Amino acid sequence: MNMAELSLLQQSVVLLAALVLFLSFVLLAQARLVSAIHAFAWQGALIAAVTAVVALIQGAHHLYVSALLTLVLKALLIPWMLHRLVRRLALERHRETIARPALVASGAVALVIFSWWLVLPIIADKLGFTRNIIAVSLAVVLIGLLMMVSRAQAVAQVLGFMSMENGLFLAAVSATGGMPLVVELGVAFDVLVAMVLFGVFFLQISDSIDSLDVDRLNRLREADAAADPGVGGVADPDDGGATETGARDPNRTLGADVTVPASRSAGEARP
Amino acid sequence: MSSSLTLLGWLLALLQALLYLALAPLLVGWVRLVKARLQGRRGPSPLQPYRDLRKLFNKDTRVAHTASPLFIIAPYLVLVATWLAAATVPLLALELPTAVIADLIVLAGLLALGRVFLALAGMDVGTAFGGFGASREMLVSALAEPAMLMAAFTLAMTAHSTNLSSVMATHLAEGLVVRPSYLFAFAALVLVAIAETGRLPVDNPATHLELTMTHEAMLLEYSGRHLALMEWAAQLKLLLYAVLIANVFVPWGIATTLTLGALLLALVAILTKLVLLGAALGLAETLFAKLRLFRVPNLLNLALLLGLLGLLSHVILEVGA
C-alpha cells in the first residue's frame, strides 16, 4: 500500500493509529500516576478520533455513536474516576520506580515487531486501507499486557488493562468497521463496571496493607510482623526471654533472623 | 546527476557553503533576540554575534603552557569538519555536487569528527572543567547519534536513498502526504538537534562558569582567534540542524532547477523557515528549564524510541503487503 495513493482522511487515520501506539509507549514508561492517567485519556480520545474518521470515510453512522461512547467513557469518565481515586488515596505525587525501564521499552518494541509478523497473513487478504492498523492494535493489546506484568502499582495495572481494551476496540474498528452496537454497549458497560469494582478493590487493598503495591500481597503477613517489630521490641527488655522466644519454635521461617541479634545483645550484656 | 557536476554546480555549491558561514551568527543572534523579548528585555541586535566574532578575531590568542599542538589545530579542524558537514545539506538547491557526493551517513561522520577533536581539545590542557565537559559531551553524543541514525534511516526508507537531496526530491514529488514515520522522525531529529547543539533542556548556551555547563566547559581555555573559530563552529552546527529539519520536512521552496529566479525564491523560502524555526526555539527555551544531567539520557532514549517507532510505523503502516 502506498501512502500517496490514500486520501488525506485515510492518511490521517493511519497517523492517528500510529499516535495511539506511541501513547502506549508513553503509558508504559510514565512513572507518575497522574501523567499516566492523562496519557490514557489521550489514547482514548485518539481512538475516538480514529473511529469518527473511519465512520466519515465509510459512511457508517453507527460508528459515530461508538466514537461518542468511546470519547465519553475512555477519555473523560474513566480517567476522571481514576483521578478521583488517586486523589482519595493521596497518590497524586506518587512516583513509581520502574524496574529496568530500558528493558521494558525494548520488550515493547519486540512486541510491536512480533504482532506485525503475526498479522502478516491477515494483511495479505485485501481488507481495505485500515488493514495495516490491525498490527498496531494487536501491539497496543500486548503492550497493555506487558504493562500489567511489569508494574507493581495497582492503578498502573488497571491502566494497562484499560489500554488493552483500547487496543481491542481499535482492532474491531480497523478490521471490520466496528462491532454491532449491542456488543459495543455491552463492552462499554462491562468496562465501566470493572472500573467501579477496581475502585472498591483499591480502597480495600490500601486499607489492609497501606499501599497499592501489589507485590506486597505476596508476602506473608505474619512473617512481616515478625521481621519488623520482633527484632527491636523483644530484644531490648529482657535478653534471656528473647533468646528463648527465638529458640522455642525453630520451625518459624524467620526464627534464625530473630535469634541472631538477640544472642548478640545477650553476649554484649554478659561482661 | 552528471549534469549537476558542472562548473556552475560547483560554483553554486561554494556559494551555498559560504552562505552557511555568513548566516550562522545571524540565526544565533535572532534566537537570542527572541528570547530576550520574551523575557521582557530589549536584548542586543541580532547582529551582535558578528561583532563578538570580530572582536575575538582582533584579540591576542593565548595558549596554556601545558597545551599540546592538538590544542592549537583543534579549532581549525572543528570548524572545517562542521563546515564540510554543512555543505552536504542542501540550503538553496537540490542536486548540487556537494550534496550528491555525500549522504546522511557522511554527515553524521563529519559531525562526529568535529566532536572528537572538540572533546580532545577540552581534555588537552588538563583542567578539571575541560575534562568533565568532554566527558559530558561524549555521553550526550553517544546517546544522540543512534537516535539520529534511526531518524535518518526512517527518511531513507521512504526515499529508498540515504542521499539528502533525493530524500527532499522524493518528498517534493509526493506533495503533501501525512506520514506517521515522518512525524516520529521529525520529533526524534528535533530532540537530537537540541542535544547536539547544546540548547536548553540539555545544556544552557548562555552560561559560563557553572557546574552544569557542557559545551562552554570545553572552551574555557580558549581565547582570541581560537575561541572565535570554536564559537563559529557551534553556530554553524545550529544552522546545519535547523536547515536539515526545515528542508527535509518542509522542502517546499527549495530550487530544483539552477535558475536565478528559483534560487532567489529558495533564499526567501529558507530565510522564512529559519525565522520561524528560530522563534520556535527561542519560545521553547523560555518555557523549559534545564534538565538535570542524569535525566538527559532519558530524553535521548525517548529520541531513540521515536526513531525506532518511525522505522516500525513505516514498515507496518506505510508499506503493507
Please give chain A's pLDDT, 271 residues, in tens. Answer: 566 677 788 888 888 888 999 999 999 888 888 889 999 999 999 999 999 988 888 887 888 888 898 899 888 998 998 888 888 888 777 777 777 888 888 899 999 999 888 888 776 666 566 667 888 899 999 999 999 888 888 888 888 988 998 999 888 888 777 778 888 888 888 888 888 888 888 888 877 777 777 777 777 665 555 555 444 444 444 444 444 444 444 444 444 444 444 444 444 444 4
Question: Do the chains contact at A15 and B319, CB–CB below 8 Å?
Answer: no
End-to-end, the C-alpha distance of chain A in Å comes to: 87
Same domain, A11 and A133: yes
Chain A: nearest CA to B140, how far in angstroms?
A: 17
Contact between residue A137 and residue A159 where contact means Cβ atoms under 8 Å apart: no
Q: Is B318 on the interface with A (CB under 8 A)?
A: yes
pLDDT digits (tens, 9 = 90+) for B101-157: 888 889 999 999 999 999 999 898 888 888 888 988 898 889 999 999 999 888 888
Whether residues A262 and A167 share a domain: the answer is: no
DSSP, residue by residue, B142-171: HHHHHHHHHHHHHHHHHHTS--HHHHHHHH
B231's grid cell? 564559537
* Contact residues, chain A, for B312 at CB < 8 Å: 109, 112-113, 116
Q: Reduce the DSSP state of residue B304 to 3 states and report it.
A: helix
Contacts of residue B107, Cβ cutoff 8 Å, sequence gap at least 6: B85, B88, B89, B164
- Beta carbons of A11 and B312 less than 8 Å apart: no
Domain count for chain B, please give it: 1
pLDDT of A41? 93
A58 and A141 inside one domain: yes
For residue range A245-264, what is the model confidence (pLDDT) as tens digits? 444 444 444 444 444 444 44
CB–CB of A123 and B321 under 8 A?
yes
Q: How many CB atoms lie within 10 A of CB A217?
A: 13
Q: How far apart are CA B317 and CA A129, in angstroms?
A: 10
Tell me which amino acid residue A112 is: V
- How high is the ipTM of this complex? 0.80
Cβ-based contacts of B176 with chain A (< 8 Å): 8
Same domain, A167 and A248: no
Question: Do A175 and A243 lie in a common domain?
Answer: no
Distance from C-alpha of B123 to C-alpha of B32, rounded to nearest angstrom = 29
According to the model, what pLDDT value does residue A4 have? 66
| Among the listed residues A4, A13, A6, the one whose alpha carbon sits nearest the alpha carbon of residue A56 | A13
A189, A213, A237: which is the final residue of a domain? A213
CB contact under 8 A, A1 and B174: no
Range of the domain at B174: 2-319
CA distance B317 to chain A (A): 5
Q: How many CA atoms lie within 13 A of B170 on its CB side?
A: 17
- Same domain? For A206 and A77 the reply is yes
Q: Is the Cβ pair B316, A11 closer than 8 Å?
A: no
**SS3 track for B167-228:** HHHHHHHHCCCCCHHHHHHHHHHHHHHHHHCCCCCCCCCCCCCCCCCCHHHHHCCCCHHHHH
A47 shares a domain with A100: yes
B305 vs A4, A25, A120: nearest CB: A25
| B184 contacts chain A (CB < 8 A) | yes
At B48, which amino acid appears?
Answer: Q
Q: Are residues A240 and A185 in the same domain?
A: no
Chain A contacts of B183, Cβ < 8 Å?
15, 18-19
B211 touches chain A (CB under 8 A): no
Is B177 near chain A, with CB under 8 Å? yes
CA distance B295 to chain A (A): 13
A-chain CB neighbours of B319 within 8 Å are 1
pLDDT of res. A2: 65
Q: Tens of pLDDT along chain B (321 residues)?
A: 445 557 888 888 888 889 999 999 999 999 999 999 998 988 889 999 999 999 999 998 888 888 889 999 999 999 999 999 998 888 888 878 887 788 888 999 999 999 999 999 989 888 888 888 898 889 888 999 999 999 988 888 888 888 888 888 888 888 778 888 888 999 999 999 988 888 877 777 777 666 778 888 888 888 889 999 999 999 999 999 999 999 888 888 888 887 888 888 888 989 999 999 999 999 988 888 877 778 888 888 889 999 999 988 888 887 754
Q: Does B229 touch chain A (CB under 8 A)?
A: no
Phi, psi values for residue A231, rounded to 5°: -65, -55
Structurally, chain A folds into a number of domains equal to: 2
Claim to verify: residue A144 and residue A230 sit in the same structural domain: no
Q: A146 and A26, same structural domain? A: yes
Same domain assignment for residues A167 and A43 = yes
Domain boundary among A171, A189, A213: A213
Residues of B in contact with A109 (CB under 8 A): 305, 308, 312
The dihedral region occupied by A90, where left means phi > 0, alpha psi between -120 and 50, and beta the remainder, is left
Chain B residues in contact with A12 (beta carbon < 8 A): 178
The whole domain housing A61 covers 3-213
Cell numbers 510491536 correspond to A112
pLDDT at B209: 60
pTM across the whole model: 0.82
* Chosen from B313, B314, B315, B319 to mutate, greatest number of chain A CBs within 10 A: B313
Separation of alpha carbons B152 and B146, rounded Å: 10
Judge if A159 and A257 occupy the same domain. no
